[in-house]
Amino acid sequence: MKKILTLLFVTLLSNWAWGQEKCLSHVYEQELRAKYPQYMGTQEDFERILAQKIEERKRLGSAARTGPYTIPVIIHVIYNNSSTTIANNSVNIPYGQAASQIRVLNEDFQKTNPDFSANVRAVFQPYAGDMDVTFVAATKDPNGNYLTEPGVERINGEERFGVAAWSTDQCNSTLKPGTYWDPSKYFNFWVVKFSGSNDTGLFGYAQFPSMTPGWGTSGGADNTDGVVINWRATGSNYDAAGNALSTPYVSSANLICSNCDKGRTATHEIGHWLGLRHTWGDQSGCSGPNFDDYCDDTPELSGASPVETNCVTARTKNSCTGVDAFYGSDVLDQIENYMDYSADGCMGMFSADQVARMEAVMDVAPNRASLTTPANISAVAPTRPNDLYVTIYAIGTTSGKEGDNFSFQQASQSEGLAAINSYTWNFDVDGIGGVSPATFSGATPPAVTFGSVGTYKVQLTVSNGTQSKSSNIITVTTTLKGPSSLQFTNKVGTGAAAKVVGQADLQWVDNSTSEDNYIVERKKNSEPTSAYVTLATLAANTTTYSDVYSSTNSVENGQSYNYRVTAKKGSSTASVTATIKVEFNQEVTAIEDAFSKEVSLYPNPAQTSFQVDLSKLQVNEASMVLFNTLGQKIMDKTLSNGVSEINVSKMPKGMYLLKINTNKGVALKRVIVD
């Protein structure tokens, strides 16, 4: 009965607790102890064995140390169908983001993190420890094949398992057993998109070590060993000097919390993976064995607190007042400890006792010590044959519009040869043109602008002075950047009352340098998109068009119309639309008004020319514009007060509209060229 109740409690705890805190490693530990008692043992057994090893190490001093420790890392990036492109702000994280995570682990565990002095207060700095451990990117998979991206395996979890976002139960029952690499040779690190509220609430969790020999040989949880980290909390938005990246891997809008972008979630969880507990001992209170993290140099805390993103506020906390036995005075909470719940930007240290505890785990826990044996390290991360290795990646998308910027990064190595000293990027392998810059020399290229429509190939060649090697090719596809800001320059009124009278004078911004031509179309606002009819096909780089209403240009007075202007380049098109209400009472119907009748026009129809007589108008100045039925301007001319002759000998036969602008008004006349 006791066993049934225990399992029921753990099941209920699992269903309730995930996502309630930043880290649920302590909950997962109890689940595993209930599920595998013969391998995990009790927490008391674990602490007893570990305490004995720590005491032995203290007694023997340096003679007890078995380090330095080298831990080969494989980061399983679990993406889904909506994130097949490697990109910033995606679960399919860029290689640079994964590499930054491994760098941060080495900085934090070795106490070389650039923010140590700034983040760790003077009272705690003398008691900060550094662990003799190096995390290295695995270079071979379990079958001995070299990895294209050292330390990274990419898996479409939706395609393989039918899961786009993962619950913790699915991670433990399906994902990890279906993707893990031998945990006696690799440290498994899963990057996932959690499901539901955990996507923006749960940072990650780890599997505690076991002290039982034979772990993984006849059962146990070896197929789930490692850490699972939310993609939003993976890697660092800062470089090795502590400077913020100009383009962050995870933008502020996608972080789980502000100031949580330095890769410290993995540092925290790997602390659990190496046997550390939260600094408050995962209980509530300020004293007693149940509230202990088993490290004297971490001041007591009253319990877990919400993730504190404001470091100034966090440094004022003192949840357990009174004289601390280790420090000999009342000290504030050690929020800079990686095993606290403060934000990444507030953290900066492991204590010396925590380091001693982790090193003891590396020595005594079978499923940890096996990782660092020379045979395993040489099998997993061997020196490659003498060669140069180079891989390039796109940061973000590889498709966009002409004129867009694209960014790239590289991972290059020289094994057994002289160091790489030359990097030559070619962003236009096929010579399409319109690329700025077309080439670049250096390891880190600037943003590249692809100014024309096309499919480009990008490649990097590295050299060490005597040998050279070219990378894989990345294909970048750019499409037309359509026109924008379509407007009616002769519009009168605003809002719902806006209209054009007599004609629609269109104007737009030409954003492309590649279009073959422009197409102008029109339809009633009430009609479907399929009802668009073509009014004109215009030359490239055109930015205006006039749609003149007449008896042959069928528009309805008072009706609203949609206009669409489309740039076209081969099969690639891009459009902009606008809507306006039309009226023609002042133009088309004015063709026979009293003012227009005062203008004499003859002969009409005309063959080679016609005369315009303005004598009856008695105007001081006048000008004329001649339009065809497509609304295209055919001719403009200044007229005299008397009779002017207009040559139409080279004009096609058809009907034209003559618009005469005077200081007394506008006259409209139909002209037929025959």
* Contact (Cβ atoms closer than 8 angstroms) between residue 211 and residue 45: yes
Q: Which H or E run contains 5?
A: helix 2-17
- Give the three-state DSSP class for 381: coil
Distance CA 441, CA 307 (A): 44
Task: Look at residues 488, 469, 617, 616 and name the one whose alpha carbon lies nearest to residue 547.
Answer: 488
Annotated active-site residue in 31, 149, 269, 402: 269
The confidence score (pLDDT) of residue 4 equals 32
Distance CA 136, CA 103 (A): 9
DSSP annotation of 570: T
The confidence score (pLDDT) of residue 193 equals 98
CB half-sphere exposure, 502, CA atoms < 13 A: 16
Give the pLDDT confidence of 37-94 residue by residue, as tens digits.
877 778 888 888 888 888 888 887 765 667 789 999 999 999 999 998 888 999 999 8
Q: Rounded to 5 degrees, what are φ and ψ at 157?
A: -65, -30
Give the pLDDT confidence of 150-171 residue by residue, as tens digits.
899 999 999 999 999 999 999 9
The confidence score (pLDDT) of residue 326 equals 93
* Contact (Cβ atoms closer than 8 angstroms) between residue 309 and residue 256: no
The confidence score (pLDDT) of residue 503 equals 85
The confidence score (pLDDT) of residue 11 equals 37
Burial of 36-59, coded b for 16+ CB within 10 Å and e otherwise, reads beebbbeeeebbebbeebbeebee
Tokens representing 503 are 């004609």
- Give the three-state DSSP class for 295: coil
The confidence score (pLDDT) of residue 20 equals 40
The confidence score (pLDDT) of residue 94 equals 86
The confidence score (pLDDT) of residue 12 equals 33
- Cα dihedral angle (357, 361, 363, 368), rounded to 10 degrees? -150
Instruction: Pick left, alpha or beta for residue 665 (phi over 0 → left; psi -120 to 50 → alpha; otherwise beta).
Output: left
Strand pairing category for 517-524 and 399-401:
unpaired
**Residues with Cβ < 8 Å from 387, sequence gap 6 or more?**
415, 416, 417, 469
Distance CA 381, CA 640 (A): 91
The confidence score (pLDDT) of residue 146 equals 74
Residue 183, preceding bond cis, omega within 30 degrees?
Answer: no
- Burial label for 152, CB within 10 Å (0-12, 13-18, 19+), is buried
The confidence score (pLDDT) of residue 217 equals 41
Low-confidence stretches of the chain (pLDDT < 70) are: 1-21, 62-65, 213-220, 288-291, 375-385, 396, 415, 550-552, 584-592, 629-631
- Give the three-state DSSP class for 621: coil
Q: Rounded to 5 degrees, what are φ and ψ at 452?
A: -125, 170
Starting at the earlier edge strand, list the strands of the sheet with 600-602.
600-602, 609-613, 643-647
The confidence score (pLDDT) of residue 589 equals 46
- Give the three-state DSSP class for 380: helix
Tokens representing 260 are 């949580």
- Give the three-state DSSP class for 225: coil
At position 57, the amino acid (one-letter code) is R
Task: Look at residues 621, 662, 603 and name the one whose alpha carbon lies nearest to residue 612.
Answer: 603
Active-site annotation holds for 415: no
Tokens representing 289 are 């064995």
The confidence score (pLDDT) of residue 220 equals 56
* Contact (Cβ atoms closer than 8 angstroms) between residue 265 and residue 233: yes
